[in-house]
Amino acid sequence: MNKKYFEFYNPVKIVAGYKSLANLPFELKLIKGLNPLILTDKGVKEAGLLDKVLKAFSGSTVKPCNIIDNIPSDSSVKIVNSIAKIYKSSGCDSIIAVGGGSVIDTAKGVNIVVSLNIKNLKEYEGAETIDKKLNPLIVIPTTSGTGSEATYVAVISDPDENVKLAFTSYFILPDLAIIDPEMTLTLPQKLTATTSMDALTHSIEAYTSLQKNPLSDSYSITSIRLINKYLIKTLKDGKNLENRYNLAIASLLAGISFSNSMVGIIHSIAHALGGVSHLPHGLANTIILPYGMEFNFEKCNKLYAELSLHFDIYDIKKSEKENAKELILKIFSLQEELKALAGIPIKLKDAGVRKEDFPKIAEKAVLDGSSIFNCKEFTEEDVINILQKAYE
Amino acid sequence: MERVNYRIKRQWLKELINKIFFYVLGKASEFLSKRDEQIKKLTKKLNVNFVKLTILENGPSINLKKEGTHLVRTNSFGNENIEIFFKNTDSAFLLLTGQIGPEQGFYEHRIFLKGNIANALIFTSILKRVEAILFPGFFHKKLFRKKPKLGFKEYYLRFLLYLFTIFWLIKFPLEKNQ
């Protein structure tokens, strides 16, 4: 008898496509967000994307109560707490996050503090600590990778204790995600490459995770097909709206998928590389992906063979294992292509990771929340072996 | 419209079995944390003072307190804690009777956590070690992603644990607050 069991949850309303940003005030009214606080970062502002968001309010009775445009790339609990004070003093009733992972996670953190009326975000660290609906949160991604617009996790650093705090709760999920391809048109090549590889890692790990389920699989597969078709095209022609739209949708699908099936060893190592060596998350995933797949080969080769079909490399004459190997080789060659097109490092040494930090990275990786969902159990020694292979 | 009278059947037997296994699991965790080096190391790493396991709704619970390198059962529960909930009687029954492992319980959402995730992972490793010694080898393939390697010391601990379990089970009806 089949004793399998799964849960799947995604209540985020998706508004996607050409000029979808123009719907922002209308959607805000529907969710009673009449005085939203806009959070964004310098890069987004300088690229003119904040102006595009503000333009959407033209002629509307809905107006932002305040704008914070300098969220750093590694946001902290202190920043979240101080923004929460501004939210309250400005009389805001909702939040709009315009940016990548850090801005979105900061917005999720601020929403926890203001909705639960607490002073310090740290009070609600961990899993399932939130027990009520939060204020309206709208997310407008400007990268195509994190999938944060559809996930119930926020990771925010605590510099005082040099740790990254994870907040997980279904209540953290945004109410609305606006996927407007125009918002990713100015994303530089390097970031396009690494954030898309982040999305690809989400999909591959979600498809092979222990928590995988038929619904998350379907999201992963579509996401993989889109990334396979549009990543290189986008790097060659980043101004093409169709390319950008498809990558943004791929990222969203990957986010929905891994939010419901979780990720594995590649993310465990990438989180640790971020914490110890401050390696950007997308880049860490880009480097570790094929080595993590090699480690999981013994347990996951059947699933890798299935995925090879969606990378259009499946060969009916070959065995499952051979097709799975071809997939890993395909990821290695994709790395080389990204290096040539976008100039990203594909070895840890070139990315500035120090060998002497490996034990620390390994220690953190085995205690990462994703580790429990990997198809194959791993130890600190296994992580060090992977890091050594990815080093030079 | 007439009011429909209905009666919800209690799962008495499963509830009783859960209660007994929960009691044994708590006792075994306490017993092994004083004797097994791996559990001692893991307990030392735990960065919380209390761990609570509860079966919802209104089921039994175990409170474990960290004391240095070992765990003791207690009736108190303070700050600096993690709480692990079994969502229902059936989920608890599957886990406590060795039909699924603690990791499977997590990834299938049959149990959920309140609190720091890294500490929950350390406690899951403790629970896995307790189950590796508590359950005979033929359960291990179902319970763990990687079959644990057990040596003479672990088999000796299992022998002791079984002896004590007989004693605990005799004492069980007399224990309060179970």
For the beta carbon of residue B82, count every other beta carbon within 10 angstroms: 24
Buried/exposed code over B29-56 (b: 16+ C-beta within 10 A; e: otherwise)? bbbbbeebebbbebbebbebbbbbbbbe
- CA distances A65 to A35, A61, A173, A352, Å, are 5, 12, 22, 41
Structural element, H or E, at residue A254 = helix A241-259
Q: Which residues of B touch A166 (CB under 8 A)?
A: 117
For the stretch A66-101, pLDDT in tens is: 999 999 988 899 999 999 999 999 999 999 999 999
Point out which residues pair with B65 in neighbouring strands: B50, B72
CA distance B69 to A137: 44
Domains of chain B: 12-174 (3.30.1050)
Is A5 in contact with B112 (Cβ distance < 8 A)? no
pTM value? 0.92
Q: Which of A161, A213, A372, A382 to mutate to test the interface with B (most CBs of B within 10 A)?
A: A372
Interchain pair A369, B118: CB under 8 A:
yes
Q: Do B82 and A126 touch (CB under 8 A)?
A: yes
**Strand order across the beta sheet in which A126-127 lies:** A126-127, A163-168, A153-158
The span from the CA of B22 to the CA of B62, in Å, is 7
Strands A94-99 and A36-39 come out as parallel
The predicted model gives A345-352 an average pLDDT of 96
Does residue A390 register a pLDDT over 80?
yes
The most distant pair of C-alpha atoms in chain A lies apart, rounded to whole Å, by 67
Which of A324, A322, A345, A323 has its CA nearest to residue A335?
Answer: A345
Nearest residue of B to residue A364 by CA position? Answer: B118
pLDDT for res B176: 57
d(CA A272, CA A279): 9
**Residues spanned by CATH 3.40.50.1970 within chain A?**
13-183
- State the nearest Cα–Cα gap between A374 and chain B, in angstroms: 9
Amino acid identity, residue B37? E
Number of CB pairs, chain A paired with chain B, less than 8 A apart: 55
- The one-character DSSP state at B13 is H
DSSP state of A310: H
User: Which helix (H) or strand (E) covers residue A91, if one does?
Assistant: none
Is pLDDT above 80 for A238? yes
Considering the domain delimited by A188-391, tell me its CATH architecture.
Up-down Bundle (1.20)
Do A154 and A146 touch, CB atoms closer than 8 A?
no
Give the integer Cα–Cα distance in Å for B92 and B110: 8
What ipTM score was computed for the predicted complex, to two decimals? 0.86
Convert the pLDDT of each residue in A137-184 to its tens digit: 999 999 988 899 999 999 898 888 777 788 999 999 999 999 999 999
**Residue A311 contacts B, CB cutoff 8 Å:** no
Question: What is the mean predicted confidence (pLDDT) over A321-328?
Answer: 97
Indicate yes or no: CB of B107 within 8 angstroms of CB of A372.
yes
Topology (CATH level 3) of domain A13-183:
Rossmann fold (3.40.50)
Query: What does the pLDDT look like over A268-317, one tens digit per residue?
Result: 999 999 989 989 999 999 999 999 999 999 999 999 999 999 999 999 99
Q: Residue A316: what pLDDT?
A: 95
CA distance A263 to chain B (A): 11
What is the model's pLDDT at position A2? 61
Q: For chain A, how many residues are written?
A: 392
CATH 1.20.1090.10 residue spans of chain A? 188-391
Give the model's pLDDT for residue B177. 53
The pLDDT tens digits of the residues spanning A242-271 come to 999 999 999 999 999 999 999 999 999 999
Query: Which residues in A lie closer than 8 A to residue B132 (C-beta atoms)?
Result: none
Q: Do A377 and B108 touch (CB under 8 A)?
A: no
Q: Please give the backbone phi and psi of residue B148, each rounded to the nearest 5 degrees, phi first.
A: -70, 145
Residue A193: pLDDT band by 50, 70, 90 thresholds? very high
Residues of A in contact with B113 (CB under 8 A): 126-128
A329 touches B at CB < 8 Å: no
pLDDT, mean of each 10-residue run, chain B (178 residues): 83 90 92 95 92 87 91 83 91 92 90 88 93 93 89 94 91 67
CA dist B60 and A341 (Å) reads 60
Residues 115..144 of B with a Cβ closer than 8 Å to A: which? 115-118, 120-122, 124, 144
**How close does chain A come to B4, measured CA to CA in Å?**
31
* A313-342 b/e (C-beta count within 10 Å ≥ 16 → b): eeeeeeeeeebbbbbbebbeebbeebbebb
